[in-house]
Structure 1
Amino acid sequence: MSEVSTATVDVGELTGPVRGPVSVPGDEGYDAGRSAFQTAAWHRPDVVVSATGPADVRAAVAFAASRGLPVAVQATGHGMPPAARGGLLVDTSRMTGVRVDPETGSAWLAAGVRWDQVIHEAAPYGLAPLSGSAGHVGAVSYTLGGGVGLLSRRYGYAADHVRAVEVVTPDARTRRVTAESEPDLFWALRGGRSNFGVVTGIEIDLLPVARLYGGGLYFAAHLIPEVLAAWRELTATAPEELGSSVAMIPFPDLDAVPAALRGRLLAHVRVAFLGTAARAERLLAPLRAIGPEPAGGLRDMPYRDSGSIHSEPPVPMPYHASHALLPELDDAALDAVLEVAGPDAPRPQIAELRHLGGAMARPPAVPNAVGHRNARYVASMLSAVDSSGLEAVRPLHRRFRAALEPRGLGSCLNFLYGERAGVEQVRTAYEPRDYRRLAELKARYDPDNLFRLNHNIPPA
């Protein structure tokens, strides 16, 4: 827990200026306001303000600042920091406006918008956002944390394509921040996320992408070592138009799982290719030769169907995760993945390797705080948390991290969850020079660290 409080907060001063629901522990709407996709540990604030727009956010921040209440912000709660007790939580999930401007190839997104909504609004114009693998993830937090998308090898991080940020700073003032108006704050927000205020909306680039060739190939458990080796060879020379990952998934034996996958450990190679089917199949021929399962498959698809590539479940769940950014994928890294998720693992967990590089390795047109652009892969492990609790999976995660971190570059903010998202872990998401600059800017814009119930960067 990052904060401990037993305060009783008088919210009478909020009921007038705030249009959305305001709740405290014991109120009927309290749990709805703090609910998150990650169900292992929710925030337990002293007060929740479910904002309907920037005016509600301004009132909430002014209220919190006047009482010394630390502030958290949450839209969907996918990539949660350590769970907080106390303070004020700004719930932005009701702020769902999207405006697409096809003339400028851009979109304005309110703070609670999810990617599937942006994809839907942009598609009629032959445009697409730099969205991630799951449409139910909040777009703003994802983008300001960096944003590794399906098309990022071709176009860069999502944070590289932000044109403007609307943010409420600790003085309860709304600022429209751009590279021209406040270059330092604009740099910090794109990568530093909620450390400098409550972001109420962002303007982003849309890309001229209407379709792609993609989907997934499934491989039986005994083929996993061969699949990992072939995928590593593929990514060593892959063009930037090819985004891919490979996940080892122990599918549960449940009716909700397709019959062909149910109760089996499988490797799932995910593909998003901005090119022709023929060229993609030439690149993927070595993987095809290994012998994928009949389930799954690749096809030409409109970008609005891109969420089907990873097919990540939209149901909230409790989980524990670890990851490392890697400059290369050596045998030791593959061995670490196989130990926790391969066919000989005593209790296989979900593990994934994502291919980075390409445009993500290049500096953006307007610099930002996103770190470790020299990373070529991210290796991650995720464990569902059941009735046996975190202790049942912690040893596996410790071994996974011990194998990868000595050869790793650091971490990615959007992959830091829960207890692994403390101050020292957050520091590893940045280059040392950039972290120092972020801490200095934090001291300028938020010297009291009002915004600390997050992936926190303390003021210098």
Structure 2
Amino acid sequence: MNSLRSVVRGRVLLPGDPGFDAARRPWNLAVEQPAAAVVEAADADDVAALVRYARAAGLGIATQPNGHGATGRTDGTILLRTGRLDSLRVDPAARRARVGAGVASGRLQAAAAPHGLTGLPGSSPVVSVAGVALGGGLSWFGRAHGWVADSVTAFDIVDAEGRPRRLTAESGPDLFWALRGGGGDFAIVTALELALHPAPHLYGGRILWDAGHAPAVMDAYRQITATAPGALTVWLDLLHFPGSAPMVAVDATYLGGESEARDLLAPLDRLPRPLSDSRRVMSVAELGSIIAEPTDPGAGASRGELLTELDDTAVKTLLADPIAPLLSVQIRHLGGALAGPSDSPHGPLAEPYALYLFGFPGDDVTARQRGLAESLPVTGRKPYTFLNPGETAADAFTPAALARLRAVKRHHDPDGVFRANFPVSR
């Protein structure tokens, strides 16, 4: 394995080297991530050289910009870090961006905002654009513009033979389809091109109440989401952080003016006085401030589900008991463009709501997550980026989509050089 240092120009760390354990560590510190080596690629040429080396040596490669979504299925692999592939170019006239594999969502937003444009960011500004797109990607603006993957127009990849390629729907339809939401099991993406969307105005923020007002907040939330236009996205959060009292929050973004947004969100203003209200006219570069998710690694245990409905019975179940030992129970309104046509492995999202359950790792948290999920109207299917380490790609895709993904894997990577966080193969 020492010969690897002569193959790539980026940093190579082997077991026993100073810094190796830190380099292999994933974002979720509860996940143990073994590796035969860690390579921090200097550029796309490094990636191509690494693939040729791994193929000849009979080794697999697991690719991670910074370790979001890691599952620990990396034993015996070379862990490839693509954080240094950080080129970013915005073409305002064409409404396009070319994004290196290591570029974080917040950086793309900061580059697009001055032009009145936006990518499709999720709740965290520190996840990579490429990683989100490879998993399909749910965004603040998904109700207006669909999956993040639907906006990808081209990929720069290194294939299983170690050849750099530019991939589009025309040049490689099956592989292009698989990469737009099927994960990183088919090629290594070194950059991608995606459509940007108009965002001349944005209004958003978080309103926070004491948990005693949760039933009234939930009623208002259901009223708003029943008629919400695609430009409006509203999430509801039941929260219980250590050392504080339980709370309930509503997070909202509206791709439009403040007066329209306040009209659409009027049921919230008829509720009891909140603890805080951060809603304001804002830049698309500031979206990360709404929820203010941690920007440093930490240990966590999550479970995602898709809800077929949020009826009275589901609400009663959600509010019957305190959420402890969970830290948060989040309900995301879906629908809009997410329910429309999508030529991606996930396809249209027919479910109107997503559920995300989070807490510190522990048997009590796992049991609480399982109990809630089993008592709610869930489909059992879940978005790829919501999968947890105990789940598989079969939990994200229909049998037909999974069979097609496996066929793409057999054709384009028959020797299994690439190993995604959630491999599609059995």
| TM-score normalised by L of structure 2 | 0.95
Is the counterpart of residue 407 in structure 1 residue 378 in structure 2? yes
Q: 1:376 aligns with which of 352, 356, 359?
A: 352
Once the two structures are TM-superposed, the CA of residue 304 in structure 1 deviates from its matched residue by 1.4
Q: 1:73·1:92 contact (CA, 8 Å) conserved in 2? A: yes
What SS is found at the alignment partner of 1:93? coil
Alignment of 1:59-458 (within 5 A): 59-253=49-243, 263-338=244-319, 344-345=322-323, 347-364=325-342, 367-385=343-361, 390-404=362-376, 407-408=378-379, 410-419=381-390, 421-422=391-392, 426-458=393-425
Q: 1:220·1:292 contact (CA, 8 Å) conserved in 2? A: no
Is the counterpart of residue 11 in structure 1 residue 2 in structure 2? yes
Once the two structures are TM-superposed, the CA of residue 159 in structure 1 deviates from its matched residue by 0.5
Q: 1:375·1:409 contact (CA, 8 Å) conserved in 2? A: no
Residues 354-374 of structure 1, C-alpha deviations (whole Å, 9 max, x = no match):
01110111114xx22224521
Pair 324,372 (structure 1): closer, same or farther in 2 beyond 3 Å:
farther
What SS is found at the alignment partner of 2:222? helix
Once the two structures are TM-superposed, the CA of residue 211 in structure 1 deviates from its matched residue by 3.0
What SS is found at the alignment partner of 1:132? coil
Pair 345,353 (structure 1): closer, same or farther in 2 beyond 3 Å:
closer
Residues 177-201 of structure 1, C-alpha deviations (whole Å, 9 max, x = no match):
1011111111111011201011111
Q: 2:209·2:247 contact (CA, 8 Å) conserved in 1? A: yes
Distance, in Å, in 1 between the alignment partners of 2:315 and 2:76 is 42
Distance, in Å, in 2 between the alignment partners of 1:298 and 1:213 is 7
Q: Which residue of 2 aligns with 1:257?
A: none
Pair 83,41 (structure 1): closer, same or farther in 2 beyond 3 Å:
farther
Once the two structures are TM-superposed, the CA of residue 346 in structure 1 deviates from its matched residue by 5.1
Pair 125,182 (structure 1): closer, same or farther in 2 beyond 3 Å:
same
Is the counterpart of residue 55 in structure 1 residue 55 in structure 2? no
Q: 1:372·1:410 contact (CA, 8 Å) conserved in 2? A: no
Distance, in Å, in 1 between the alignment partners of 2:236 and 2:384 is 21
Q: 2:340·2:348 contact (CA, 8 Å) conserved in 1? A: no
Distance, in Å, in 2 between the alignment partners of 1:346 and 1:17 is 51
| TM-score normalised by L of structure 1 | 0.88
Query: What residue ranges of structure 1 are gaps of 5+ in the alignment?
Result: 1-9, 254-262
Query: What residue ranges of structure 2 are gaps of 5+ in the alignment?
Result: none
RMSD across aligned positions (CA): 1.8
Q: 1:70·1:453 contact (CA, 8 Å) conserved in 2? A: no
2:96 counterpart letter in structure 1: S
Q: 1:272·1:309 contact (CA, 8 Å) conserved in 2? A: no
Distance, in Å, in 1 between the alignment partners of 2:274 and 2:378 is 33
Distance, in Å, in 2 between the alignment partners of 1:335 and 1:450 is 48
Distance, in Å, in 2 between the alignment partners of 1:104 and 1:95 is 23
Pair 372,329 (structure 1): closer, same or farther in 2 beyond 3 Å:
farther
Q: 1:219·1:267 contact (CA, 8 Å) conserved in 2? A: yes
Distance, in Å, in 2 between the alignment partners of 1:400 and 1:70 is 37
Distance, in Å, in 2 between the alignment partners of 1:172 and 1:331 is 54
Distance, in Å, in 2 between the alignment partners of 1:58 and 1:418 is 28
Q: 1:107·1:205 contact (CA, 8 Å) conserved in 2? A: yes
What SS is found at the alignment partner of 2:138? coil
Aligned sequence identity (%):
36
What SS is found at the alignment partner of 1:317? coil
Superposed structure 1 runs of 4+ greater than 4 Å apart = none
How many residue pairs align between the two structures? 426
Residues 218-253 of structure 1, C-alpha deviations (whole Å, 9 max, x = no match):
011111122122212211111111011011111333
2:336 counterpart letter in structure 1: G
2:217 counterpart letter in structure 1: V
1:352 counterpart letter in structure 2: Q
Residues 5-35 of structure 1, C-alpha deviations (whole Å, 9 max, x = no match):
xxxxx231x2223111111111113133223
